[in-house]
Copies of this chain bind each other. A is one copy, B any other.
Amino acid sequence: MEARKILLNEDEMPRQWYNILADIKMNPPLGPDGKPVTPDALAPVFPMNLIEQEVSSERWIDIPEEVLGILKIWRPSPLVRAFSLEKALGTPAKIYFKNESVSPPGSHKPNTAVPQAYYNKEFGIKRMTTETGAGQWGSALSFACSQFGLECKIFMVRVSFDQKPYRKSMMSTWGGQCVASPSMETKAGRDALAKDPNTPGSLGIAISEAIEAAVTDPSGKTRYSLGSVLNHVMLHQTIIGLEAQKQLAKVGDYPDVVIGCAGGGSNFAGLAFPFVLDKINGKAIEIYPVEPAACPTLTKAPFVYDHGDTARYTPLLPMHSLGHAFVPPPFHAGGLRYHGMAPTVSQLVVEGLIKPKAVTQLDAYAAGILLARTEGIIPAPETTHALACVVEEAKKAKEEGKAKVILFNWSGHGLLDLMAYDKYFAGELSNFVLEDKEIEAAEKVFENFPKPAIMKSR
């Protein structure tokens, strides 16, 4: 019987991350003066060792031993051959996935939370702040901080805080302190509450609160942390794709198609970037980031300079954006409800190295249920978007009679999102598809911003 799971031993783990900045040209982030942001300007927000990583153009960056030691709690993650799905679809395609749901918080997020906590600790930081929407990222940072003895403070968007009380419990169990945002603890929070005491909150406000809580700590021992979008976050996630390459080599396979869902871009980048390097070096391979049709950043929005947050605290980043004031419709994949996209992922779209796709919520859940009943794991709502694309590609391979190799990222499990499945079965979920005029209206906010150069790296 062929193996379902292709495993690596801990001593086969990659010892370096892959930094895509070595291989593509990027527009720089811009400060309030319209000039490229200097590392010093970011020093109150992030520790300098992470800022150095953010701007590094070294292709390979060593993973510290202490980080590997913690990652080994769940890594290397299994590469799984999806035999049951293949059989259910009757496809000649060989389908593989990296199972990133096996981490204690249940997603790929701790791949960067652990090194971020490590570098903060190394820099003498005692306390980290962050925001969280659906809760995956806040859980991951709480877990990572517990491993390094750091305090962790999480501002969780109120509507999610109220809807998903278990996420707060998870953070508390690891010692993190989670408060609903807007809170009375920051000026940004108090201002938001003064404006609307019943506000459901937003990721934008939560980011503002977390940044403010970090930079106003008089001890200077607090820093802010972001779970996606930034270069160093993508860097840390590349361990996923680097492991997958080793695992596929063990069974003598190589993907024709690589697929990951994309919200801020980190789980997609983690799997895909090492394969992008192969593509740059001449491999024929299709690479698809998959986003919700209700938040079509890569498929419908322009490549612009925009802020990462609603309150415009962050530098201007070169990315595909629906506008920093855009509020996505209330679909369930909270991790994909982001107006922008990682600048590195955006640049790869500009260069034509990757091809974005969009799927609707109902197609995503249908695929999620098919996967739960074949491969056994209940997927996170975010992951179901990748699954819908996988099912489509597998069906296409069947029509074409091609034994394609498809690789995708199972970014997380849905055990803390089961209410969404209930709603699907009850027929209470619907599709949200944005009209072009809604998108045009949202994009007005960056009309007067500088424009990034449209560059090809080769």
Contacts and interface: CB of A to CB of B under 8 A. Distances in A.
A299 to B, nearest CB: 29
A422 interface: yes
B65 A378 contact: no
A174 B421 contact: no
Given A7-B7, A65-B1, A102-B102, A147 B376 contact: yes
Interface in A57-115: 65, 68-69, 72-74, 84, 102, 104, 106
B104 A422 contact: no
A4 B11 CA distance: 10
A88 to B, nearest CB: 11
B173 A369 contact: yes
A166 interface: yes
A380 to B, nearest CB: 12
Count of this chain's copies in the oligomeric assembly? 2
A4 B73 contact: yes
A73 B375 contact: yes
Given A146-B373, A376-B104, A415-B106, A72 B172 contact: no
Given A376-B73, A376-B143, A422 B3 contact: no
Contacts of A375: 73
Contact of A418 (B1, B169, B376): B169
B169 A3 contact: no
A405 to B, nearest CB: 20
Interface string A415-457: 1101101100100000000000000000000000000000000
A302 interface: no
A373 B421 contact: no
A272 interface: no
Interface residues of A, number: 44
A28 interface: no
B1 A9 contact: no
Contact of A422 (B102, B146, B169, B175): B169
A57 to B, nearest CB: 29
Contacts of A68: 1
Contacts of A7: 7, 9
Interface in A384-406: none
A372 B147 CA distance: 10
A165 interface: yes
Given A3-B72, A11-B3, A104 B377 contact: yes
Interface in A164-195: 165-166, 168-170, 172-175
13 contacts: A1-B65, A4-B73, A5-B10, A73-B377, A74-B376, A102-B102, A104-B376, A104-B377, A106-B415, A146-B376, A166-B418, A169-B419, A174-B378
Given A1-B69, A73-B377, 12 more contacts: A3-B10, A4-B73, A7-B7, A104-B376, A104-B377, A106-B415, A166-B166, A169-B422, A170-B418, A173-B378, A174-B373, A415-B415
Closest 5 CB pairs of A and B: A169-B418, A104-B376, A166-B418, A4-B72, A73-B376
Interface of A: 1, 3-5, 7, 9-11, 65, 68-69, 72-74, 84, 102, 104, 106, 143, 146-147, 165-166, 168-170, 172-175, 369, 372-373, 375-378, 415-416, 418-419, 421-422, 425
